[in-house]
Structure 1
């Protein structure tokens, strides 16, 4: 026994490691299907990444397993980690899509306050003519149909500021489209 301890082998710690591993493996087997389904259902745009996000969440929980396993709800903690990880993955994609990609408006996803785009090029020119912050508001409002409160929360600004941007967007749309002899696609009100 002394020889084993001198060589760095400790039977007690090996037993603890094995128990730790078996306990966590059981936790993964029990929760993996539900976690993947939760991520896929809660974040439809990340459905293809659901298994990767679940694996990331398990890796984070594994690193903290000593504290997590004694928590009141390890499963709840796991799902919270997965949700936060999904937000971390989704948010940069959404910001890039909403602010940088003004030249391509996907009509299949369009569900906002635009009556009839009437031409992607005209709308692209209209959006490109706006200051950057107003363009973000316009895309979140017109393209993704978010309410002023949600836009304010996502962009970190006051609701009144968002409503002011919306009013200026309406005015600018009216002027731009009247100059081209077309009706503004932005709904009033």
Structure 2
């Protein structure tokens, strides 16, 4: 694989979480979230996206989201990393994690939290982004179990603000 390959960053916000009497990191998915996460996985499958590398926040709700979404994919990712640094991370901190991705991987799915995932998507989206999708993200926000797909050319070390093109935006029903 050429290091200057076309690559995708698929950003998935965790599905709707419950609010039990636990610390934030340990919050599980709500019933609605357990329906949203498989829908996100089906959207990925229907869109022809099957990530080969997954970076997932270590929180309970992101892990549950990924497990339920992954069950809908035609094949397993080659590697999944549960990363503490994605929890409560800024866009800049997430970019640093993405830059550590081995160049053998082409499609990286990042499962994280707002506001970090929305800020990341907006920061990475350059001038070549599809205007309707970028406008939807900016106006509608990044809903639970929402997905943004960004593409860029280069190595993972090249990930920086404005380098990518936002090409898809998925917002599942929120009821």
**TM-score, normalised via structure 1 length:** 0.20
Please report the TM-score for the alignment, with normalisation by the length of structure 2: 0.21
Higher strand fraction (1 or 2): 2
Structure having the higher Rg: 1
> Which structure is richer in relative contact order (CA contacts within 8 A, separation 6 or more)?
2
Between Structure 1 and Structure 2, the one with more helix by share is 1
